[in-house]
Structure 1
Amino acid sequence: MSHALLWLPLLAVFIVLAWLGWVEYRKLEHYRQWAQQFEASKYDIAAVLGQQGDRLTWGRPTRQGIVNLQTCELSTLQRVWVEGGGQRLETERDRFKGTIHLVLQTTTGECYRISFTELPLALAWRDRLAGKIKGEFA
């Protein structure tokens, strides 16, 4: 009896890990279906992002699907930069603490912040978008 009680917490941990794996699998499956409509796209636990022509679309992945979808036209962008911990990041060697955001500023002054978990990926998207907008990038 005592041996069974010792293994019970291990069984509970296994069940929780299996459930978390299923949740992440569902998120990825929803992303795969969603991303088929885009020329380029990215997925991470923070956000999804897709580009089709002159349109950027992003949102948050959940097991029910992509939620909080927002869209922006590249023609309305004036500036684009990467921010981490409240400071602008230029290279992968920059030190920072906090969340990474790709910041899009429109000609009307409105700013959109798209979350990233990896700095190199955020910098690559910044460079990709900078070549397509008429404004500047930092």
Structure 2
Amino acid sequence: MLEGLLWLPLLVIFVVLTALGWLERRRQALFHRWAAGSELAKLDAAVAMRLRDGHISWGPVGPKGVELAEDIAVNHLEICELMADRSGDVPLTDEACGPCRLRLVAEGRSLDIPFSDAVRARLWVDELMSRVCCQL
């Protein structure tokens, strides 16, 4: 009886990890379905983004798919810069890592998109700007 009680926490941990893995796999499948046919797509812990047909769209991944928060036309884009996450309007430094946000300014409005990793955010913004420059 005592040996069975010792294995019970491991069984609970296994069930929880299996459930979390299944949820993440489902989240990724919903993102891949939403991003199909996009020129550029990104799935982050906070948000999903894509560049498709000259529009950048993003939103959180919910139980039924990506719930679009915003959509912006690339040809209206004025500024695209990475900002520090918690420091107000301070641009992100080159050596910074951790959470940050992408600020897009277009048509007089400023939109902030959260990123969970600054290194990947820099790579994604570089790729985005290389593709957007062709469309501007």
Scaled by the length of structure 2, the TM-score of the pair is 0.83
> Which protein, 1 or 2, shows the higher relative CO under an 8 Å CA cutoff with sep ≥ 6?
1
Q: Aligned-pair distance for 1:4?
A: 0.9
Q: Give the structure with the larger strand fraction.
A: 1
Question: Counterpart in 2 of 1:118?
Answer: 117
Q: Distance in 1 between matches of 2:35 and 2:69?
A: 13
Task: Calculate percent identity across the aligned residue pairs.
Answer: 28
Question: Counterpart in 1 of 2:9?
Answer: 9
Question: Counterpart in 1 of 2:96?
Answer: 94
Report the aligned-residue RMSD: 2.0
Give structure 1 stretches of 5+ with no counterpart. Answer: 134-138
Give structure 2 stretches of 5+ with no counterpart. Answer: none
Question: Counterpart in 2 of 1:59?
Answer: 59
Question: Counterpart in 2 of 1:24?
Answer: 24
Q: Distance in 1 between matches of 2:56 and 2:13?
A: 40
Report the count of equivalent residues: 129
Q: Aligned-pair distance for 1:113?
A: 1.3
Scaled by the length of structure 1, the TM-score of the pair is 0.82
Q: Distance in 2 between matches of 1:8 and 1:94?
A: 43
Q: Aligned-pair distance for 1:62?
A: 2.9
Per-residue CA distance 1:41-71 (angstroms, 9 max, x = gap): 1112111110013200111123431124321
